[in-house]
Amino acid sequence: MTQSMRVTYREALRQGLRDALLQDPRVFVMGEDVGRYGGTYAVTKGLLEEFGEERIRDTPLSESAFVGAGIGAALNGMRPIVEVMTVNFSFLALDQIVNNAATLRHMSGGQLSVPVVIRMTTGGGRQLAAQHSHSLEGWYAHVPGLRILTPATHEDARGMLLSAVLDPDPVLIFEHALLLNVEGDIDEQSHPVDIDRAAVRRSGRDVSLITYGGTLGKTLAAASALAQAGIDAEVLDLRTLRPLDTAAIVATVGKTRRAVIVDEGWRSGSISAEIMARINEHAFYDLDAPVARVCSEEVPLPYPQHLEEAALPQVDKIVHAARRVSAGRA
């Protein structure tokens, strides 16, 4: 019987890193300011003191070199966990991630394995403007060979790290910055979690709200508001954007016959577009209404609070979209 404990999302991530470091001597952590500074977002605070400089490695501001070094170390028998400060900075290492990590197993005829974990923060809402706020996990989800994880709960924030380290393929973990201070419960015992399947976070009959990562909280809040208006929403947390759990998407749409996708990414060419396409391919005849989306507005995220709020998915927009989709319900 396990006890649960109350932690912030940040602490859950840190606990996940500790679990991995304690379980496997091949695991080490590297990235900008993960050691002395204690982590840009304080996720790695205290790890340097606990595990030492060999395993908690501060790197120069050389995203391509240290992400590539993580890939090389993984090819050579280690289990590196690389921290990139934010998704926008990860583009400096895009070549290493897309041209090397994602391709090497297939291109080598199955000889190579790249068990690297690359973590980064994602998402807006902190008035950090257009080079620190975007949600581009959907871009990475385009690439075969990568696993894309978006932990939205505390249990996933911790458990996905261990699961990612155990996975033989490159895994990218996107941690929404607004979640870091949010409190929630996790088991005292460490354990890996399933990283193949989506999870229903709220069961409902009338409309499916499909989301992941940082917008799960807003989506659940929208579901509560909808309940007061007599609409019973189901909330599906995708958890993993690649491979995408198509069966879970089809199942929830088959049940409610209506769907709204909530995605902090831009709408054009996005993961929300992919989900709509899958619904179209697999569940077209189950639908009672066109599928709707709530995405970020198609602008670089602006600095002023009122404009940033207007650009991001918000509870009222989700409620509005769900009501529109539910209009004319039998």
Positions marked catalytic: 63, 132
| CB nearer other proteins, residue 119 or residue 176 | 119
Cβ neighbour number for residue 306 with a 10 Å cutoff: 8
Residue from 1, 36, 109, 188 binding other proteins (CB under 8 A): 109
Tokens of 12: 């859950």
Q: What is d(CA 261, CA 107) in angstroms, rounded to the nearest whole number?
A: 35
Which residues in 140-159 contact other proteins (CB under 8 A)?
A: 144-145, 147
Residue 264's φ and ψ, nearest 5 degrees, are: -75, -10
Per the structure block, which two tokens stand in for 280? 């179209």
Strand residue runs (E) in the chain: 4-8, 27-31, 56-58, 79-86, 117-122, 147-149, 171-176, 183-187, 199-202, 207-211, 233-237, 240-242, 259-266, 292-296
Structure tokens at 9: 């999302």
CB-nearer residue toward other proteins: 72 or 302: 72
- Count of residues interacting with other proteins (CB under 8 A): 51
Per DSSP, the three-state class of 190 is coil
Tell me which residues in 278-307 interact with other proteins (CB under 8 A): 278, 281-282
Among the listed ranges 5-13, 102-110, 118-126, 176-184, the one in contact with other proteins (CB under 8 A) is: 102-110
Q: x-or-dash pattern for other proteins, window 9-48, by CB under 8 A? A: -------------------x--------------------
**Nearest residue (CB) to other proteins, 233 versus 276:** 276
Name the residues that contact other proteins, by CB under 8 A: 28, 54, 59-60, 62, 64-78, 80, 95-96, 99-100, 104-113, 144-145, 147, 167-169, 196-197, 243-247, 278, 281-282
